[in-house]
Structure 1
Amino acid sequence: MSFARPSRIALATLVCLMAVSTSAKDKEGSKDHPLIGRYAGSEITAYKVAEFNEQRFVNAPLDIRADGETFTEANSFKVEGRITDIRYDAPKDRSALEIMRNYEESLKSKGFEAVYACANESCFKGKTSVYRFNFVAGDGPINYRYDTGVRYLLAKATRPSGDVYAAIVIGESKGNPLVHVIAADLKPMETGQIAFIDASAMAQSMAANGRVALYGILFDFDKAEIRAESRPTLDEIAKFLKASPALSVVVTGHTDSKGAFDYNVDLSKRRAAAVVAELTSRYGIAAARLTPFGAGMASPIAPNEDEAGRARNRRVELVAR
C-alpha cells in the first residue's frame, strides 16, 4: 500500500501545515513527535510517553459484533518500543478529510509508507456505529468525539536506527475534529537495569537502614501479577526471612507518579499483596510476619521527571516492623 504522489507545490504547502510546533494552550510538558508533527492550529490536550512499552496497531476492519471493542490477532498486531500518545483538538473549520490528507503527504515526504487506512464504514465488518472506533485510540471516555465520522491511517518508516510506526486517528463530531497520534519507535528494551540483591545484601541493608529496596520483582504495566523473571529475587527474600525468623516486615509497593493518586495507591497495595501471597504459599513464610502496604507515589526516592527517575521509584520495599 502506498501514498498518492503530490505535486511539488501541494507538497510544500502540506509540509508547512504539518510542521512540528507548539501552542500556548498545549498540555504542560507536551510536545509533538519529531517525525509526525501536527496539523496547523491544533492544540495538545493529552500526552504521555513510555520509554518502553507495547502497543497494538489496527491493520484490518474491526468485527464489533464478534469481538466487541477489543484488539484481536485478526484485527491488529503488537510492537514494542518507545510509545508516544498525543491527542489534539484540531481547528473547528477543518474537515477530517483535509487533516488526514495533510498527514498522509507529510508522512510520505519523511519516508513513511502506508500500511493500512480506512474511513467510516470501511473501518468495520458489518454495519455498526462509527463512534465505536474510539477504543483504538483509548478514547472511550470521549467517544462522542467520533459521533459523525472516523478516519484512520497506519504508516511505517524503515530507518537504520529503528523502524517507526505512526497511527493517525481522526474523530469527527459537531465540535472540533479530534486527532489522536500514536507513534512507536521500535527499539530493544534496555537490559541490565535490575540490581540483583541477594539474601546477604538484604540482611546488611536491613541492619543498616531498617529497610531494603528491591527492583527484581517485576510487574507488567498496570498489572499486579508477578512476572516469572521475579523468581530469583523472591528466592532470596525467602532465604533472608528464613534466616531471620524473629523478623516481621511490611511489604511495601511503590509506583511512579503517572496516573491518579488513589489508583496508584490501590495498584501498589495489590502488588504488595501479591508478593505476600507468593511468599506464604510457595515458600511457607508465616503470613503473620508479612504486612502488605501500598504507598503509591507518596514516597519517591528520585524525581519523576524522566524515565530513569520513575524506574527508581517503581519498587518493592521490605521495612522492619
Structure 2
Amino acid sequence: MNAVFTTGTRFLAAVTLSLCAAGASAASLLTERPGGKDHPLISRYEGGILYDYGSNPLGTARLVERARSGPVLRPVEGRISNRLYWGPKEVSALAVFRNYQQALHTAGFETLFSCETAECEKLRIQKMIEDFPREAKWVGNSAMVNIFNNGDQRDFHYISARKQTGSGFTYVQVALAGPRSDGETAGRTRQFIQVVEPAQAEMGKVTVDAKAIGAGLQRDGKIALYGVHFDTNKAVLKEESAAQLQSMADALKAQPAMKVLIVGHTDNQGEIEANLALSQKRAQAVVDALGKNYGVAANRLNARGVASFAPVSSNASEEGRAKNRRVEMVVR
C-alpha cells in the first residue's frame, strides 16, 4: 500500500522517527492517539497507527543534508508538525521507505539526502538524528522520544527533501526503524514524521520605550519602530498602536529642541505610486496623532512616505517584508 502525499502551497517538512519506552502498556502502544490525524501534506503508510502527534507554531528543526565533506545537519525554521506511526504488521521498513521516496518524488520534492541501512550505518546517520524526537513536541506519551536512543536501531532508513512553496521552502525528512522482534509492537516498522511549514513570527508585538527611542535618535539619528499598526492597505491607526505612540511622544518631550521626520515605509507588494501614497498617509496619521492626542507641537514633526525605497531586508520573503513595513523617526 502506498503512502499518500497530498499537494498544497504551504509546508516545510522535516521527518524523523520515535520509539516507545519499556514498560508502557500494550494497549497504549497500539491505540490511535485521540484527536490526532495525518498531516494534510503527507499521510501515514496505509494501515498504520498514529501513536502520537504534536506541533510548534514557530520553531527550529534540524535535518540531514549532503555536503562535499559528507552529511551535515541543517537548521530550518517554520511551523513544525510531528507524527509518530506504527506500520502495519509484517510490512518491512524498506517497503515503507520506498513509498515515502516515491511520494516525495511525485510531489515534486528535491532530495537533499537519502540513505538505506548499510550507508546510513557507515555514515552514522542514526547517531546524528537520535535527539530529533526528543526535541519534538508531543501531546501524549513522551516515552516515544527514545526511538533512536542508542543510534543503533535495525533496518534504519532516512530521507530529507525540499520543495519551494511560495517564497520559501518546505523541508521533509523521514527516518524509519525496522520492526522489533518481540512485544506487542513486534513486526511493526516505527515511523516519525515531522512536517515544517513556512512561517514567520508576527512582528510588532514589542514596543520600544521612550528611553530607548531617545538613545537611538541621539546615537543613530533615526530609529525604526514596529509597534505602530495599520490594517492592510489602510492608513488608520489601530488601537494597539497607543503604547508605541506614547513612548514616541515621551521621547520627544524629553528632548524639547529636537525635530523629527516621521517616515512611513512599505514592502514592495503592489504598485509604487499606490505605496508612496499609502506610506505618506500613514506617516501623516502618526504626526496627527502625536499632535492631537499626545501633545507634541506640530512644528516639531513632518511626515514623509517613501514606499519601498529604503528596505532594511529582502522583500523576497514574508519575514523580510514584515521588517520593511515600519515607521521611522528621523532627526532633522
Tell me which interval the TM-score lies in, with the shorter structure as reference length: 0.3 to 0.5
- Bigger Cα Rg: 2
Query: TM-score w.r.t. structure 1 length?
Result: 0.46
Query: TM-score w.r.t. structure 2 length?
Result: 0.45
Larger RCO, structure (CA 8 Å, separation 6 or more): 2
